[in-house]
Structure 1
Amino acid sequence: MSNLDAQGHEWRSGLRFPWPQPPANGAVQQVAEGLLWLRMPLPFGLDHINLYLLRHGQGWVAVDTGLNNAQTREVWEGLFDTALGGLPLVAVICTHFHSDHVGVLGWLSDRFRCPVFMSASEYQAMHQLGTQSDVSSSWAFREHYQRAGFSTEQTEALFPLLGSAHFRPQVPTSFRRLSEGSQLTIGGRRWQVRIGRGHSPEHACLYCAEDGLLISGDQVLPRITSSVCVQVTEPDADPLRDWLDSVECLRSVPDSVLVLPAHERPFFNLHQRLDQLRDHHQEHLQRLLDACTAPRSAVQLMAVLFPTVKGRFDELMAIGETLAHVNYLIAQGHLVREETAGVFRYGRTPEGVTAQSVLGQL
Structure 2
Amino acid sequence: MSRLDAQGHEWRSGLRFPWPQPPANGEVLEVAPGLLWLRMPLPFGLDHINLYLLRHGQGWVAVDTGLNNVQTREVWEGVFAQALGGLPLVAVVCTHFHSDHVGVLGWLAERFRCPVYMTASEFQAMHQLGGRRATCDWAFSEHYQKAGFTCEQTEALFPLLNSAHFSPEIPTGFTRLREGVTLNIGGRAWQVLIGRGHSPEHACLYCADDGLLISGDQVLPRITSSVCVEVTEPEANPLGDWLDSIERLRAVPDSVLVLPAHERPFCNLHTRLDQLRDHHLAHVQTLLAACDVPRSAVELMAVMFPKAKGRFDEMMAIGETLAHANYLMAEGRLRRDEAEGVFRYARTADGATARPVSGPL
Task: Tell me if both proteins adopt one fold, taking TM over 0.5 as the criterion.
Answer: yes
On the 8 A contact 2:136/2:158 being kept in 1, the answer is no
Tell me the secondary structure at the aligned position of residue 231 of structure 1: coil
On the 8 A contact 2:25/2:41 being kept in 1, the answer is yes
Aligned to 2:103: 103
- Alpha-carbon distance, 1:350 to partner: 3.8
* 1:318/1:137 CA distance change after superposition, 3 Å: closer
Aligned to 2:144: 145
TM-score (normalised: structure 1): 0.96
Structure 2: gaps of 5 or more residues: 353-361
1:76 to 2:76 alignment:
yes
Letter in 1 for 2:270: H
CA deviation string 1:128-167 (max 9, x = no partner): 1112433x23110011001001111111111221111110
CA deviation string 1:233-288 (max 9, x = no partner): 10010010000000000000000000000000000000000000000011000001
CA deviation string 1:55-105 (max 9, x = no partner): 001000000000001110110011111001000000000000000000000
CA deviation string 1:176-210 (max 9, x = no partner): 00000010010101100000000000000000000
Aligned to 2:65: 65
On the 8 A contact 2:118/2:176 being kept in 1, the answer is yes
Q: In structure 2, how many angstroms separate the alpha carbons of the residues matched to 1:318 and 1:231?
A: 11
Q: In structure 1, how many angstroms separate the alpha carbons of the residues matched to 2:158 and 2:333?
A: 34
Aligned to 1:261: 260
Aligned to 1:236: 235
- Alpha-carbon distance, 1:352 to partner: 11
Aligned to 1:126: 126
Aligned to 1:181: 180
- Alpha-carbon distance, 1:308 to partner: 0.4
CA deviation string 1:29-48 (max 9, x = no partner): 11000000000000000000
Q: In structure 2, how many angstroms separate the alpha carbons of the residues matched to 1:337 and 1:39?
A: 44
Tell me the secondary structure at the aligned position of residue 137 of structure 1: coil
Aligned to 1:10: 10
Q: In structure 2, how many angstroms separate the alpha carbons of the residues matched to 1:84 and 1:103?
A: 20
* 1:351/1:174 CA distance change after superposition, 3 Å: closer
- Number of aligned residue pairs: 352
Aligned to 1:24: 24
- Bigger drift between 155-164 and 73-82 goes to 155-164
- Alpha-carbon distance, 1:312 to partner: 1.4
Q: In structure 2, how many angstroms separate the alpha carbons of the residues matched to 1:326 and 1:14?
A: 30
1:33 to 2:33 alignment:
yes
On the 8 A contact 2:132/2:162 being kept in 1, the answer is no
Letter in 2 for 1:25: N
On the 8 A contact 2:333/2:350 being kept in 1, the answer is no
Aligned to 1:347: 346
TM-score (normalised: structure 2): 0.96
Measured on the aligned residues, the alpha-carbon RMSD in Å equals 1.1
* 1:54/1:350 CA distance change after superposition, 3 Å: same
- Bigger drift between 308-317 and 38-47 goes to 308-317
Letter in 1 for 2:259: L
- Alpha-carbon distance, 1:121 to partner: 0.5
Tell me the secondary structure at the aligned position of residue 141 of structure 1: helix
1:219 to 2:218 alignment:
yes
Q: In structure 2, how many angstroms separate the alpha carbons of the residues matched to 1:212 and 1:146?
A: 47
Letter in 1 for 2:268: N
Q: In structure 2, how many angstroms separate the alpha carbons of the residues matched to 1:234 and 1:254?
A: 34
Aligned to 1:358: none
Aligned to 1:308: 307
Letter in 1 for 2:43: P
Q: In structure 2, how many angstroms separate the alpha carbons of the residues matched to 1:124 and 1:107?
A: 18
Overall identity of the aligned pairs, in %? 80
* 1:327/1:84 CA distance change after superposition, 3 Å: same
- Alpha-carbon distance, 1:110 to partner: 0.2
Letter in 1 for 2:128: Q
1:258-337 map, 5 Å: 258-337=257-336
